[in-house]
Amino acid sequence: MDVDMIRKVLLAFVMASCVLGCSEHMSPQEYSHAWRQAVLDYRAIEKSPETAAALAASGDPGGSRAAAIGGAAQHISDQIREIAARVKEFNPPPNMQPLQDETYSFYRGQADLFQGYASALGEGDSGKVDAAGDRVNLFVDEHQKKVKDEITNLRNQSDQFQSAWLAVLKPIPRK
């Protein structure tokens, strides 16, 4: 093929794309891939501040346990908030927007609640710590179900999301 023929084919392709409607939305495949990657990144986070603090403390055995757990909870919040920020930038196909909205709410709300849990740990009030941990777990339970329902609502496209979502585990913050 000569250069002029390649240009003509490319021009025809570009014109056909614009005539058919240039879309700013991700394709269903692009969206499901990006969405599943966010879920994998979320699953990779150690969501128990106590366990994360123990792992971090192995290098600093003289540190305060409460401070280590609070720092770990803040780090968990930061990691989940970063995923929420990425998810917020996705531009899903219109039929997947409810899943997008609920998934973003799941990550963002959880990040906010982990930050509250870290603050409660910093205050040292065991009642506040327990209440903050309960709020995280109640929120996660409720929003995992909402995301699952949105996946189910996608009907024939739900398979691309279902297996990744079923593997999401609930965080269990501890004192």
| Strand extents, DSSP E, 68-131 | none
Task: Give the Cα separation of 127 and 108 in Å (integer).
Answer: 24
Tokens of 57: 């403390």
Q: Are 150 and 102 in contact (CB under 8 A)?
A: yes
Number of Cβ within a 10 Å radius of residue 79: 20
Higher pLDDT, 166 or 70: 70
pLDDT at 154 over 50: yes
pLDDT higher than 80, residue 34: yes
Q: Is it the case that residue 164 has pLDDT exceeding 90?
A: no
Q: What is the mean pLDDT of residues 166-172?
A: 61
State mean pLDDT over 18-37: 79
Looking at the chain, the whole-number percentage of residues with pLDDT higher than 90 is 51
Give which of 139, 141, 167, 159 is closest to 41, Cα–Cα. Answer: 167
DSSP per-residue string spanning 14-58: HHHHHHHH---SPPHHHHHHHHHHHHHHHHTS---HHHHHHHHHT
The whole-number pLDDT of residue 71 equals: 86
Distances (CA, A) of 15 to 1, 10, 25, 159: 20, 9, 18, 34
pLDDT band at 19 (very low <50, low <70, confident <90, very high): very low
Q: Is the pLDDT of residue 111 over 70?
A: yes
pLDDT, tens digit (0-9, with 9 covering 90-100), for 40-65: 999 889 888 877 777 655 555 555 77
* Inter-CA distances, 136 with 23, 46, 50, 144, Å: 38, 15, 15, 12
Q: Which tokens go with 22?
A: 């240039």
14, 42, 62, 71 from 58: Cα distances, Å: 57, 24, 10, 14
